[in-house]
Amino acid sequence: MPERARRAKRQAPRGAETRAPGKAKARPPRRGAGRAARKERPALPRQARGGVAPAGPPGGVRQQIVVSGVGGQGVLFVGRLLAEAAMARGLPVLASETHGMAQRGGTVIAHLKVGPFTSPLVRPGQADVLILLKEESAASHGSYLRRGGWAAINAPSAPAALAGAAPRAVDADALARERGLGKAVNLIVLGRALGDPPAGAEGRPALFCTPEEIRSVLRSRLARQERLLEASLAALDLGIAQTIPARH
Amino acid sequence: MAGRLLLLGNEAIARGLVEAGCAVATSYPGTPASEILAAVARWKAETGAPMHVAWSVNEKVAFETAYAASIAGLRAAVSMKQVGLNVASDPFLSAAYTGVTGGFIVVSADDPGPHSSQTEQDSRRIAAMAKVPVLDPVSPRDAMDLVAPAFALSEAFRIPVMLRPTTRVCHASQDVPVGDVRPLGRRADFRKEPARWAATPVHRSRLHKELVEKVAAIASYAPTAPRRINPRVKGPRAVVASGVAFAHAAELLDAMGLLATLPFYRVVQPYPLHQAFVDRLLAEHSEILVLEETTGVVESQFRNRAKVRGKESGTVPEAGELLPETIEGILARFARKRRPARRDPIEAPGRRPTLCPGCPHRASFMAIRKAAPRGIYPGDIGCYTLGTNLEAVDTVLCMGASIGQAAGFHHAYRQAGQAVDIVATIGDSTFFHAGVPALVDAVVQGARITVVILDNRTTAMTGNQPTPQSGFGVLGEPTAAVDIEALVRGCGVTYCRVGRPTRFPEFLALLKEAVAYARENGPAVVIARDPCLVDRAPFEKPPARRRMTVSAACDGCRYCVTRFECPALVYDAGENRVRHDVLLCSGCGVCIHVCPKKAIGEAPDA
């Protein structure tokens, strides 16, 4: 089976069986099985986990996401929203953040791994999804993507560096300025990542969570900040509504 | 409140401390350890556990405070970043001899990379120098799980125990099952024993002998022994890993299908390494690969090094973070497998950090350059280290060094009859931490220097923790406050003035006056007081926000963009002029005084 077809089969459509563990096909454990089986279910013996690796998740979700931007844009916030959406589904989550001086306008990266992982970092060429809050990061961080993965990017049109990555471009800076959503560029781009894929992106896995799940995380995180919540939901929906055909 | 929470590694450590009955927790903020203490305080408040939780003035004081609680019989912990351990190394090495009563954990967070530190030093080396056992967590969940065993080890051998997370544990987050908080109900009960707690050199030799015996016994302590991951697998080559390197290796060995062929071990306690483990591995295997950060601490404890591959054998890089993509190549070579296809490396640096738009430090640096144009500018540790971008910070050594180095420059130049203006910058928190003794010394030695205390009343870079002048503690509870101006005068400084850098013309005049004073007299101190853009709360009257505009007089010279470097000033190449990014501009108005063409001004009211 070609790699893409295998992945397409493995990746449940958004909002489908990944949310209903009961419907997931029970797979017998296979020791030393082929590559595909290893990717679905770690062969790591239980004692190997030693408090390290979580037990297998319901539905077999396995997704690696990289969010990048510069300090002050809310890169970590996007990472946290996705992590909490995974938590709400009962999925194991391992994420990694940049703190300290880099947060002062320097490059900030959040790695997020949903599923039975032990390492907190995404290796180059392994990310299923890349969310770029700055266009300039496409050149430097594009190589995190695996073949068959895709990127959402804050840019008027998809940069050449992402050709082949089924890019979902959204000019979030311009939209934020127009709508007075200055601090919510990050959520516009996240919205774009949650929205419909562009033409030519068939077979690429959707984000592991739905827009409604992110809205629900926002509602609980910003429960006591009504105006901020309203602006955040508006920014998310604005991003979801943008389906700009990718230009290569 | 048992359940499952998404926790940062630092929060997981904090949860472990609270659950294990820690009664006193202290710290000084520093990346990557900063979030531990605030999380302890939050759970203390939430659970009502009886605890004393406090930010200390520096790591040494934090250590001594928590240690005293331990010798009074309570469980206690102190947390810091790795270079903070240097500051606390004096009590740390001595406390190894005198020992503990209640369990005592020293959390020293290392920063391989380094991501936000001056050095990549390995705290485990200092633990080994002190003869203190150290545990290496591999993940947030594991870090939480190691806290109770660390307390147990500490109490079993009456010895401090180091918990050594690294950045990828501290700032990883994970779903963590949390348990209940059960305060131990211990009461402080210090038993006087001068031969131990006040040991003079004659007793120290006995204590050292005692310590050596403890370490030997800890090297066979079962609960912290190395764990064999795949016991049924036999083979000539074995992989040993500790810390995050284990977490990376476990996932990689699995993905590469090597768990069925390579015996794999996790070291939980890298120092002292369990002796039986070393003997068995050397007997069973012909080649042993050791993966660890940051130096070869585990590796170097194998007596027969001929079979061992690691940092010291040149198999594993000795500098920089040990990334999973690096480990992948090392494992493939070690297993004699074809190397994975080369992928484009991630280009590391990206965009360099800069001070926030509207940061008052930027105005201070601009003024320093104008007041002492050919001066030497010793700098310090904080956001304002970024004054290097503005060519107003020439040296950065360690906490508090700006003042000591400024004095040193003065004496170096003066003894040969040379004159130079020296303007040091130091933040308020850093001044309290390590600047005060240096200022006393500068006064006594008559160093003709200007010290600018960048006073935003917060510890900005690490997440806006309070300082000793804030008047509140970890969770905002009221505390006494120390007046920084009175402290400066108390150090013997005769020239001490307060100014607001965002009122640029007045501030520049003040700084010129200070530099002139220092030239003739001795140390002059200017307290540059304006709020941090991230946390304006400590100021009753923060500067008003003004709407800025750039007139047609802008000729695109870009002086403001390159020399002032405010992210809110954006050069438009198409029109060859500069504009304000309204999303970023804080409206401080300092750029009005920066533009050489007088093109920047306040916008008329719309």
Q: Whole-angstrom Cα distance, residue B322 to residue B325?
A: 8
User: What integer pLDDT is reported at residue B543 of this predicted model?
Assistant: 78
Quote the tokens at residue B189. Answer: 């009960």
Look at B172 and A105 and tell me if their CB atoms are within 8 Å. Answer: no
* CB contacts, 8 Å: A86 with chain B: 175
CB-based contact, B6 to chain A, within 8 Å: yes
Look at A120 and B323 and tell me if their CB atoms are within 8 Å. Answer: no
Look at B168 and A121 and tell me if their CB atoms are within 8 Å. Answer: yes
* CB contacts, 8 Å: A121 with chain B: 168, 248, 323-324
What is the chain A residue with the closest CA to B175? Answer: A93
**Residues of B (256-275) whose Cβ lies below 8 Å from A:** 257, 259-260, 264, 266
CB-based contact, B196 to chain A, within 8 Å: no
* CB contacts, 8 Å: B257 with chain A: 32, 35, 38, 43
The whole-angstrom distance between B198's CA and the closest CA on chain A is 39
Look at A143 and B244 and tell me if their CB atoms are within 8 Å. Answer: no
Q: To the nearest whole percent, how much of chain B has pLDDT over 70?
A: 98
**Residues of A (62-101) whose Cβ lies below 8 Å from B:** 70-72, 80, 83-84, 86-87, 91-101
CB-based contact, B118 to chain A, within 8 Å: no
Query: B521: phi > 0 → left, psi -120 to 50 → alpha, else beta; which?
Result: alpha
**3-state SS, residue B99:** coil
CB-based contact, B429 to chain A, within 8 Å: no
The whole-angstrom distance between B119's CA and the closest CA on chain A is 14
Quote the tokens at residue B278. Answer: 């070393």
Look at A54 and B175 and tell me if their CB atoms are within 8 Å. Answer: yes
Compare CB distances from B171 to A91, A97, A176 and report the shortest one's residue: A97
Residue from A39, A82, A99 to probe the interface with B (highest B Cβ count within 10 Å): A99
Pairing of strands B569-572, B577-580: antiparallel
Nearest alpha-carbon partner for B384 in B467, B456, B468: B456
* CB contacts, 8 Å: B145 with chain A: 51
**Residues of A (185-244) whose Cβ lies below 8 Å from B:** none
User: What integer pLDDT is reported at residue B350 of this predicted model?
Assistant: 63
Q: pLDDT confidence of B26, banded at 50, 70, 90?
A: very high
* CB contacts, 8 Å: B533 with chain A: none
pTM more than 0.80: yes
CB-based contact, B581 to chain A, within 8 Å: no
Look at A143 and B323 and tell me if their CB atoms are within 8 Å. Answer: no
- Cβ(B6)–Cβ(B174) under 8 Å? yes
How many Å is the Cα radius of gyration of chain B?
Answer: 27
- Cβ(A100)–Cβ(B10) under 8 Å? no
Look at A105 and B244 and tell me if their CB atoms are within 8 Å. Answer: no
| CA distance between the termini of chain A | 29
CB-based contact, B461 to chain A, within 8 Å: yes
Q: Which residues contact B570 (CB under 8 A, 6 or more apart)?
A: B561, B578, B579, B580, B581
Q: Whole-angstrom Cα distance, residue B501 to residue B530?
A: 7
Look at B255 and A39 and tell me if their CB atoms are within 8 Å. Answer: yes
- Cβ(B472)–Cβ(B458) under 8 Å? no
Q: Is B587 exposed, middle or buried (0-12, 13-18, 19+ CB in 10 A)?
A: middle
Nearest alpha-carbon partner for A127 in A137, A112, A107, A117: A112
B132-169 exposure pattern, b = at least 16 Cβ within 10 A, e = fewer: bbbbbbbbbbbbbbbbbbbbbbbbbbbbbbbbbbbbbb
The whole-angstrom distance between A243's CA and the closest CA on chain B is 24
| Count of A-B CB contacts under 8 Å | 184
Residue from B252, B254, B579, B582 to probe the interface with A (highest A Cβ count within 10 Å): B254
Q: Classify residue B405 by its DSSP letter.
A: H
**Residues of A (8-47) whose Cβ lies below 8 Å from B:** 32, 35, 38-39, 42-45, 47
What is the chain B residue with the closest CA to A134? Answer: B351
CB-based contact, B173 to chain A, within 8 Å: yes
* CB contacts, 8 Å: B251 with chain A: 42, 53, 117-119
**Residues of B (295-324) whose Cβ lies below 8 Å from A:** 323-324
User: What integer pLDDT is reported at residue B342 of this predicted model?
Assistant: 62
* CB contacts, 8 Å: B246 with chain A: 52
User: What integer pLDDT is reported at residue B126 of this predicted model?
Assistant: 98
Nearest alpha-carbon partner for B564 in B391, B415, B403, B423: B391
Question: Once rounded to an integer, what is the mean pLDDT over residues B237-266?
Answer: 97
Which ranges in B457-503 belong to alpha helices (H)?
484-490
- The angle at the Cα of B229, spanning B267 to B327, to the nearest 5 degrees, equals 65
User: What integer pLDDT is reported at residue B115 of this predicted model?
Assistant: 87
Compare CB distances from B173 to A70, A95, A104 and report the shortest one's residue: A95
Question: Once rounded to an integer, what is the mean pLDDT over residues B193-204?
Answer: 96
**Residues of B (490-509) whose Cβ lies below 8 Å from A:** none
- Cβ(B203)–Cβ(A24) under 8 Å? no
Look at B6 and A84 and tell me if their CB atoms are within 8 Å. Answer: yes
CB-based contact, B131 to chain A, within 8 Å: no
**Residues of B (531-570) whose Cβ lies below 8 Å from A:** 567
User: What integer pLDDT is reported at residue A101 of this predicted model?
Assistant: 65
Look at B325 and A123 and tell me if their CB atoms are within 8 Å. Answer: yes
> Mind listing the domains of chain B with CATH numbers?
3-222 (3.40.50.970), 225-334 (3.40.50.920), 360-529 (3.40.50.970), 548-602 (3.30.70.20)
Look at A100 and B462 and tell me if their CB atoms are within 8 Å. Answer: yes
* CB contacts, 8 Å: A99 with chain B: 31-32, 34, 115-116, 171, 463
Question: Once rounded to an integer, what is the mean pLDDT over residues B112-141?
Answer: 96
What string of DSSP letters covers B8-43? EHHHHHHHHHHHTT--EEEE---TTTTHHHHHHHHH
User: What integer pLDDT is reported at residue B349 of this predicted model?
Assistant: 56
User: What integer pLDDT is reported at residue B533 of this predicted model?
Assistant: 87
Angle between helices B9-19 and B35-47 in degrees, nearest 10: 40
Look at A102 and B343 and tell me if their CB atoms are within 8 Å. Answer: no
CB-based contact, A102 to chain B, within 8 Å: yes
The torsion angles phi and psi of A113, rounded to 5 degrees, stand at: -125, 120
The interface predicted TM-score of the complex, written ipTM, equals 0.90
Mean of the per-residue pLDDT values of chain B = 95
> Beta-carbon neighbour count of residue B207 at 10 Å?
17
Quote the tokens at residue A92. Answer: 């194991």
pLDDT, tens only, B510-533: 999 999 999 999 999 999 999 998
Look at A94 and B227 and tell me if their CB atoms are within 8 Å. Answer: no
Q: Provide the residue-wise pLDDT of chain A in tens; the chain has 248 residues.
A: 344 434 333 333 333 333 333 333 333 333 333 333 333 333 343 333 444 454 444 458 899 999 999 887 899 999 999 999 999 999 999 999 877 666 677 788 999 999 999 999 999 999 999 999 999 888 888 899 999 999 999 999 988 888 888 899 999 999 998 998 878 999 999 999 999 888 777 778 889 999 999 999 999 999 999 999 999 999 999 999 987 554 44
